[in-house]
Amino acid sequence: MATAAVRWSLVAVGLAWALVAQVVLAADARTYVLAGSKAATLASCVEPTDVMRRQHMQFIKHQRDETVHSGIRSSKHSLAGCVDCHVREEVSAGLVPIHHREEFCGACHAYTAVNMNCFDCHASVPNGPGAELAARAAHQAAGVHVTGEARPDGENH
């Protein structure tokens, strides 16, 4: 009898912990569509949210293949389109690079522990005022050397 009571107590505690974990995870789940971005003003993305969350990399790779191999440049699933829509602007700091750890791409990829190197080559902010400064700041924060910028050794490359 005592064994059954202990067993049921442990089951109840386990269920309570599972419920707490679900509540905490649900509270932590964010859309990552941040205020100050164009995406925050739109009703939906280029695809439904659940599709984009699971298949965005396939869309990006397909777009890359069409562009690089076939010369077809469409914007529906382009990386530049993602940046144009999801990058946000702060009044004091200007454009915030999309792959910054607290921003749209960076936050999701940090949460899922996925390393992304798209923005080692691609622009992390849209073209326009403030883009060059934001890009340089993002590269410096990532430790990436930007051509034409003085290196720590004093050389200019």
**3-state class (DSSP) for residue 24:** helix
Q: Can you give the pLDDT at residue 144?
A: 61
The more confidently predicted of residues 131 and 69 is 69
Alpha-carbon distance of 136 to 128, in angstroms, equals: 14
CA 106 to chain centre: 4
Please give the pLDDT value at position 148. 52
* Residue 109, number of CB atoms within 10 A of its CB: 15
- Cα separation, 113 vs 60, in Å, equals 19
Q: Check: pTM over 0.85? Answer yes or no.
A: no
Angstrom distance (rounded) from CA 85 to CA 87: 6
Geometric angle at alpha carbon 4, from 17 and 1, rounded to 5°: 150
User: What percent of the chain is predicted at pLDDT more than 90?
Assistant: 2
DSSP secondary-structure letter at 97?
P
> Cα 57 vs. chain centroid, distance in angstroms?
12
User: What tens digit of pLDDT does each residue of 26-65 get?
Assistant: 444 456 678 888 888 888 889 988 898 889 989 988 988 9
The pLDDT value recorded for residue 58 is: 92
Give residue 32's pLDDT: 63
For residue 91, the model assigns a pLDDT of 77
Q: Residue 117 — pLDDT band, cuts 50, 70, 90?
A: confident
Span 55-66, pLDDT tens digits: 998 998 898 898
Distances (CA, A) of 65 to 74, 114, 124, 136: 12, 22, 20, 28
Q: State what percent of residues in the chain have pLDDT above 70.
A: 70
In the prediction, which pLDDT does 153 show? 44
Highest mean pLDDT among 23-27, 38-42, 90-94, 146-150: 38-42
